[in-house]
């Protein structure tokens, strides 16, 4: 699993969404699908899938949270990877836009010859970009965090925190808002990208008062940990909202939701029998921070 894996929360459509996305993006597949029984939302389907090299997770767990554009996914279509890169941007735009709507129309912008921001029919947002052939290479898909509302202006601080938490990390680009850019605050982050282990995130600030959304649990960031000590370290650094702590989920001081989980949990969910999976689910449901020993004991029976 990647250092950080985005997790999408759907009311009922996790399997349908995963099947759609893997039909749209190259080098993609659904890697597992399991049913979690007796959760607060009833029986919940948990799906893992890979899109163009990026791991994703999704769950159907009821209409508790709604996905919004505060977390989107930047798709870098680079001419070195794709023979007809502009054509691929157009094809992705058409596929993802069917039944969805445009947030920024597909066209030419100062930062890209071909760019558009679209929210698909499942509510997930994609920033499709024809990459500059002369620019530094980036992965085809990157998770993108938009700091708005009460979090606006905190993208750089958040980036510094995340860089300090994950080994082998570095900041890539850092472009700041300049003067006379409407409501945007000069000096805050117009765009930055961060490499955290083998995962890349992008961050942006926007003080525009018209957004009407912000970070929530609908898209969280899953971090698999090698042992209890790593879970404890990351939990202590990230969890700042006690009422958001549940089943390994926590929320940092910027509002971003994380899932801090043992690396072995993925194996348990993929390889376990239905009885083993049920025991693990019932073991972690009452937990806030996850306890590795208890989960392993539940799996073993």
Give all domains of the chain, ordered by start, each with its CATH number: 5-65+216-300 (3.10.180.10), 71-205 (3.30.720.110)
Pairing of strands 199-205, 219-225: unpaired
Spatial distance between the Cα atoms of 66 and 32, rounded to a whole number of angstroms:
23
The pLDDT value recorded for residue 239 is 98
For a pLDDT cut of 90, what percent of the chain falls above it?
Answer: 88
14 exposure class (CB count in 10 Å sphere: 0-12, 13-18, 19+) = buried
What share of residues in the chain are helix, strand, coil (percent, to 5)?
Answer: 25, 35, 35
The pLDDT value recorded for residue 181 is 85
pLDDT tens digits, one per residue of 28-65: 999 999 998 887 778 899 999 999 999 999 999 999 99
- DSSP letter for 235, please: H
The pLDDT value recorded for residue 153 is 97
Nearest to 37 by CA among 218, 285, 301, 255: 285
Dihedral (CA of 81, 192, 90, 119) sign: positive
Q: At what angle do helices 292-300 and 274-284 cross, to 10 degrees?
A: 150
* DSSP β-bridge partners for residue 34: 46
Spatial distance between the Cα atoms of 258 and 261, rounded to a whole number of angstroms:
9
pLDDT tens digits, one per residue of 191-244: 999 999 999 999 999 998 788 899 999 999 999 999 999 999 999 999 999 999
The pLDDT value recorded for residue 1 is 55
Rg (CA), the chain: 19
Count the neighbouring beta carbons within 10 Å of the beta carbon of residue 253.
14
Q: How confident is the model at residue 170 (pLDDT cuts 50, 70, 90)?
A: very high
- Does the predicted model carry a pTM greater than 0.75? yes
Collapsing DSSP states into helix, strand and coil, what is residue 148?
coil
């Amino acid at each position: 699993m990647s250092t950080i894996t985005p997790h999408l929360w759907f009311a009922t459509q996790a399997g349908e969404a995963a099947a759609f996305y893997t039909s749209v993006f190259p080098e993609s597949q659904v890697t597992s699908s399991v049913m979690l029984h007796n959760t607060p939302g009833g029986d919940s389907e948990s799906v893992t899938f890979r899109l163009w090299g990026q791991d994703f997770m999704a769950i159907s767990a009821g209409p508790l949270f709604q996905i919004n554009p505060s977390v989107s996914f930047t798709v870098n279509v680079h001419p070195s990877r794709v023979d007809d890169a502009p054509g691929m941007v157009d094809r992705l735009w058409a596929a993802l836009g069917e039944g969805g709507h445009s947030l920024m129309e597909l066209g030419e912008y100062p930062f890209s010859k071909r760019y558009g921001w679209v929210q698909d029919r499942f509510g997930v947002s994609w920033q499709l970009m024809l990459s500059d052939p002369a620019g530094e290479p980036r992965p085809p898909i990157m998770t993108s965090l938009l700091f708005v509302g009460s979090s606006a202006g905190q993208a750089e601080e958040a980036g510094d925190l995340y860089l300090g938490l994950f080994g082998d990390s570095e900041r890539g680009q850092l472009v700041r808002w300049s003067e006379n850019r409407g409501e945007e605050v000069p000096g805050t982050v117009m765009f930055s990208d961060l490499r955290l282990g083998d995962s890349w995130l992008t961050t942006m600030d926007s003080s525009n008062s018209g957004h009407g959304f912000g970070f929530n649990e609908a898209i969280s960031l899953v971090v698999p940990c090698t042992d209890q000590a790593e879970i404890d370290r990351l939990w202590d650094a990230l969890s700042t909202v006690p009422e958001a702590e549940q089943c390994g989920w926590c929320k940092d001081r910027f509002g971003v939701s994380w899932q801090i989980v043992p690396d072995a949990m993925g194996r348990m969910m993929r390889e376990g029998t239905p009885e083993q999976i049920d025991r693990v689910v019932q073991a972690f449901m009452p937990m806030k921070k996850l306890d590795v020993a208890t989960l392993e004991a539940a799996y073993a029976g």
